[in-house]
Structure 1
Amino acid sequence: MPRGLAALIGVLAVGAALGAGHVVAGLVSPSSSPYLAVGDTVIRFSPQWLTEFAKTTFGTADKPVLLGGMAVVIALVAAAAGIASRRNPGPGVAVVVVLGVLGFLAVLFVPVFAPLDLVAPLASLLAGVLVFRFLHGLALRTYAAAAAGPSGGPAVSRRGVLIGSSAAVGVGALAAGAGGLFLGRGIEDSRAQVTARLAALTGVQRAPAIPAGADYAAELGTTRFVTPNPDFYRIDVALRIPTRSAADWRLRIHGMVDNEMTLTFDDLLRRPLVEKTITMMCVSNEVGGPLISTANFIGVSLRDILLEAGVRPGAQQVFTTSIDGWTAGTPTDVIMEPGRHALLAVGMNGEALPPEHGFPVRMVVPGLYGFVSATKWIADMELTTFDARQPYWLQRGWAQQAPIKTQSRIDSPRGFSTVPAGKVAIAGIAWSQPTGISKVEVRMDGGPWRVADLATEVSGDTWRMWRTEFDLAPGSHTVQTRATDRNGRTQTEMRADPIPDGATGWPATIFNVS
């Protein structure tokens, strides 16, 4: 058969396999999609330098880039397999089987494997082999008939059947993949129910309203104090957002405790709920970077839950596992600080947690970088020692202890922007959780430091806005900042990369005045 048709048959067969696996996973176990399981395996075993390159280069688009790159590679392999099978289906079937086995193994070794997860990769393998053999056999019969008989006879009708079958397989593969995605979207019904329940609850200890003087956004167009949910930064390793309804959620608390507990979502809502305004930050944030946001979180005091469980002496870390198998280790003594406000959060900015931010329940611990404190889609909590269990990022070279460092950021003017000559407003944010910010200094073009005006403080758990003005002549200018916390510790000038425990240095912005 022609090379182009042979390549198309290979691509269609593998596409049908991926689509079948995806739709069966949507019906049986969303985490068992072979395609996504292979992507998760790539993430788990990628070297640290490659992981950081992806995060810094592509930001929150790193997952689509990975999945797109996988699709290209798989399509090329499938096309090559088809071309190698122009006369004999053996090579193509072998490649489909090998890809199927790789998907099977990827699912088998996911951190949260269950026997039912094998249904999707088996369906994927079976669909791929059957579709390849069917299309390959039909193509060979069509072109053999065309070579042996007069044109316009049965070969023409067979060619029409071949084209129609190929088109049907292609459409079916796309529909199956889309169906798998659609099946995972039913979680929105559960979210809507949770949002309604949170709105109807009485007795919730609400966070104080944000003072008018805490936010310069209306005046200067800078960062809003509370980040809208769609704009809240997202960094995680989940290729597919876990889809578990609130009704099906469970949290097991065990290990070095006196009373093992298993909590349901209703158990949480029957407890005293508190709303806290909290700034969260990713340890991968570069100096002056965007991976920091603030929200009003509603949840249950994690300290109170652990007091009820009875933490035994020597329990150094709260080792948490998410629904998709990601793990974090949070220092127990930090969570147990009376004023730390660590939460098992169920709501964010007046609604249920968005799926990408941990629905139905996540951890939030102010003052610690997210990789040691902010487990999304939390499903298990074990009190243990640091030696006994090593969480996901600690295994990859990151720190065990990761308190958020005193930092600042320049939001206005933007880098390489042009502003009119005269008085130029310089503004931004600073943070030092849970201590709070006492001073921000700004200097222009390496000159003397000038103390900036600070916005009204909301709490030590949040960022603080700052602003000042400089009278500037036309030309290029460089502005720098540094912050000081309430204990008198000033942000260090020493530059350090995010790994292992957060970036340091003074942020600087270059802009033009005309």
Structure 2
Amino acid sequence: MRLRAWVAALCGVLALVAALAAGHLVAGLIAVNASPYLAVGNGAIDLTPVELKDFAVRTFGTYDKLVLLAGMALVLVVVSALAGLASRRSVWPGAVVITLFGVVGIVAVAARPDLGAAALLAPLVSLIAGAAVFVALHRAARPRAVSAATGTSRRAFLTTGAGVVVGSALAGVGGQALAGSKNAAASRAAVGPLVPARTAPAIPAGTDFAGLGTPSFLTPNPEFYRVDTALTVPQVRAEDWSLRVHGMVGREKRYSYQDIRDRPLVERTITMTCVSNEVGGAYVSTANFIGIDLADLLEEAGVQPGAEQLFATSVDGWTSGTPVPAALDRERGGMLALGMNGEPLPLEHGFPARLVIPGLYGYVSATKWVTDLEVTTWRARRAYWLNRGWGEQAPIKTQSRIDFPKGFATLPAGTVRISGVAWAQHTGVARVEVRVNNGPWQDATLSREVNVDTWRMWYAEITVPAGTHQVSCRATDRSGYTQTQERVGTVPDGATGWHTISFTAK
């Protein structure tokens, strides 16, 4: 006899829930990324074409990973329900689907660069749990002649299903508790204040026009842009963290968190920009970073002739490659940063330590949760984004953006104040101009410059009659280069073009 359709579908869905919960529980004991659900999600991110990733970042911003996980969950539920429906007469179709799910989880975990062989236990347990629960539910739900009149099979199914739900909930909560037992937040709180021996110059008055619509000069930590490939924020305690420096060096070195913190710390004011920042985009922010000179660590190791790339690896296996000359350039001021805006790095911004190298897009200069630095060549090692068609050197391009008014705003006719921000890290912004309706360019008033590695705010006053108007802006850096009008996307080395908005005057 066949199972009822809703019962068969529920068998598949509950088996999925049990499988994922069991895998998450075991992953909590080993490493959270060993959870099959997260491993498959991370694998999906790695395999997603660059264009689709750019679309996700543009469309969903920092919620792109949440959208991915929700989409995966929906697909898994639908497929599991269909597998259950295909098993109304026999358990085997669903068992085959569950096995395929398990194999995908095992492959995803095995492919993770940050996981060892022990992590394979999580997807293996997930597979066993899913198959066992599916078979048990299917047997409990199968009608029996002796119980047809009493409804015993229905009660057995509901009882078994309730047990699966409770057990899955306990396993999921237990896995989450185990994953959080390392308690990186408590470790961060215990670090205490980071006091630099060399503080950054005080931010003078007049460095922003926040009252006119620009951002504040320093970006508060919760508002600092975040773009990374991590589905879950790595939880690394300071006491467990270490940094290895090796490769084409005279002496391999390893440092603990305390080794770094005990050194004289330096504070620098730096504007960072993501290569995924579209023209007019928000992925640019400024902070006071506290840490040590990256050049000190490299010189202690002794960089050998012929070295071209500093290949950095995060605790979650993500990699980036920085040109060695930029990493060694003391004038540029690359840092191994421990702090941000007067406090230890937030977890989502790389605690315990990250790289910050001014003037280069983040995908080659800003590895968060960094744990390994290998001095090597471009040919020997290929970093995460380099393998996906992005540029090698990645200097940040001179850009500007309009922050006020917002596109399609309605304002009173007459005098209108336009304001925004410009950046040309490691070169410096010399000039910003605006124009209305393709008319002549006029100079904007610039805020005070803090240093060449930070953004500058600007504003300009224009007079417009009633009607719809377009305003564009462009910046010129201290080398004399004026940003191009040519509009190109972010791939392979950053977007270009003038930011233009439309507004209506009444």
TM-score by length of 1: 0.94
> What do the CA deviations read for 1:257-296 (whole angstroms, capped 9, x no partner)?
1110011111110112111111111111111111111111
Task: Write the letter of the residue equivalent to 1:2.
Answer: R
Q: Indicate if the aligned counterparts of 2:264 and 2:292 stay in contact, CA closer than 8 A.
A: yes
Deviation at residue 39 of structure 1 after TM alignment: 1.2
Structure 1 residues 350 and 402, CA, compared in 2 at 3 Å: closer, same or farther?
same
Q: Does 1:214 align with 2:207?
A: yes
1:274 to 236, 241, 266: 266
Is 1:356 aligned to 2:351, yes or no?
no
> What CA deviation, in whole Å up to 9, does each residue of 1:393-438 have, x standing for no partner?
1111110110001110100000111122222111100010111111
Shift of 1:202: 4.6
Q: Superposition pairs for residues 324-363 of structure 1, below 5 Å?
A: 324-363=316-355
Q: Is the 8 A contact 2:196 2:267 kept in 1?
A: no
Q: Distance in 2 between matches of 1:93 and 1:178?
A: 26
Q: Give the superposed CA RMSD.
A: 1.7
Once residues 181 and 418 of structure 2 are traced to their aligned partners in structure 1, the CA distance between those partners, rounded to angstroms, is: 46
Q: Does 1:410 align with 2:402?
A: yes
Aligned positions of 1:349-498 closer than 5 A:
349-498=341-490
The corresponding residue for 2:28 is 26
Q: Which runs of 4+ in 1 moved over 4 A?
A: none
**1:151-192 residue CA offsets vs partner (Å, 9 max, x unmatched):** 3x4x34x533422331332343344334433443445x5444
Partner of 1:114: 116
**Which is worse superposed, 412-421 or 162-171?**
162-171
Contact 1:192 1:352 in 2 (8 A): no
Whether the 8 Å contact between 1:29 and 1:116 is mirrored in structure 2 is no
Q: CA deviation at 1:148?
A: 3.6
Partner of 2:206, secondary structure, is helix
Q: Does 1:197 align with 2:191?
A: yes
- Contact 2:191 2:344 (8 Å CA) reproduced: no
Distance 1:192 1:244 in 2: 11
Structure 2 spans left out of the alignment, 5+ residues: none
The answer (yes or no) to whether the contact 2:275–2:495 under 8 Å persists in 1 is yes
Does the 8 Å contact 2:307/2:377 carry over to 1? yes
Deviations 1:179-235 (CA, angstroms, capped at 9, x unpaired): 433443445x54444455341x55532222222210211x22431111122211111
Q: Which residue of 1 aligns with 2:168?
A: 173
SS in structure 2 of the partner of residue 271 of structure 1:
coil
Whether the aligned pair in 2 keeps the contact of 1:191 and 1:353 (CA below 8 Å) is no
Displacement of 1:471: 2.0
Q: CA deviation at 1:509?
A: 0.9
Q: Specify whether residues 202 and 223 from structure 1 end up closer, same or farther in structure 2 by C-alpha distance, changes over 3 A only.
A: closer
Alpha-carbon distance in structure 2 between the residues aligned to 1:72 and 1:202: 48
Asked if the contact 1:233/1:292 (under 8 Å) is kept, the reply is: yes
Matched residue type, 1:74: L
Which residue number in structure 2 is paired with residue 103 of structure 1?
105
Which residues of structure 1 form unaligned runs of 5+? none
Query: Which of 155, 169, 189 does residue 160 from structure 1 map onto?
Result: 155
Alignment partners' CA distance in 2, 1:210 and 1:283: 26
Which amino acid in the other structure matches residue 112 of structure 1?
D
Distance 1:363 1:35 in 2: 29
The one-letter amino acid paired with 2:55 is F
- Structure 1 counterpart of 2:79: 77
Tell me: CA distance 1:136–1:121, structure 2 relative to 1, closer, same or farther (3 Å): same
The code of the aligned residue for 1:26 comes to: G
Question: 2:266 matched to 1:313?
Answer: no
Q: CA deviation at 1:341?
A: 1.3
Is the Cα contact below 8 Å between 1:286 and 1:497 reproduced in 2? yes
- Residue 202 to residue 53, structure 1, CA distance change in 2 (3 Å): closer
Q: CA deviation at 1:458?
A: 1.1
Matched residue type, 1:511: F
Query: Which secondary structure state, in structure 1, belongs to the residue aligned with residue 239 of structure 2?
Result: coil
Instruction: Measure the CA separation in 2 of the matches of 1:129 and 1:510.
Output: 58
Matched residue count:
504
- Asked if 1:9 is matched to 2:11, the reply is yes
Distance in 2 between residues matched to 1:510 and 1:331, nearest whole Å:
40
- Whole-Å Cα distance in 2 between the matches of residues 513 and 33 of structure 1? 55
Provide the identity percentage.
54
Deviates more, 1:474-483 or 1:417-426: 417-426
With over 3 angstroms needed to count, the CA separation of the structure-2 counterparts of 1:20 and 1:236, relative to structure 1, is same
User: What is the TM-score of this pair, normalised by structure 2?
Assistant: 0.96
> C-alpha displacement at 1:340, in angstroms?
1.0
Measure the CA separation in 2 of the matches of 1:42 and 1:446.
44
